[in-house]
Amino acid sequence: MHAQTITTRLPTQLVKELETTAEMEHVGKSDIVRRLLVEGLEHWRIEKALEQYRKGKFSFGQAVRFAKVSVWRFTELMKEQRVLLNYDLEELKHDLETIKSL
């Protein structure tokens, strides 16, 4: 994996929290920042996928791919967030064609 350096300014209190967390986890600040960024982006993708699916802007398959989770996990998340399944015959046909091409 290729890595890049990103520089940002953070409030002092946030830096202190990162340092405390790094100490508690016995890792460096960079490791904590990476871990939290990954977790934050995962959470954001899932929330955005659910939102776009709820609004009808994403199909079920598009939402699953955008969220980068399994179909089963996305279904669980929908249940947790009380998002109703909006799956019509055209989507089913499309998904079946996609499965055939795999």
Residue 27: predicted pLDDT = 95
Residue 96: predicted pLDDT = 84
Residue 36: predicted pLDDT = 94
**Position 2 confidence tier, pLDDT thresholds 50, 70, 90:** confident
CA–CA dist 65, 48 (Å, integer): 12
Task: Report the percent of the chain where pLDDT is more than 70.
Answer: 99
CA-nearest of 45, 24, 31, 27 to 3 is 31
The per-residue pLDDT for range 20-56, each reduced to its tens digit, is 999 999 999 999 999 999 999 999 999 999 999 999 8
Q: Where are the domains of the chain?
A: 12-100
Q: Could you tell me if 87 and 60 are in contact, meaning their C-beta atoms sit under 8 angstroms apart?
A: yes
Residue 76: predicted pLDDT = 93
pTM of the model: 0.74
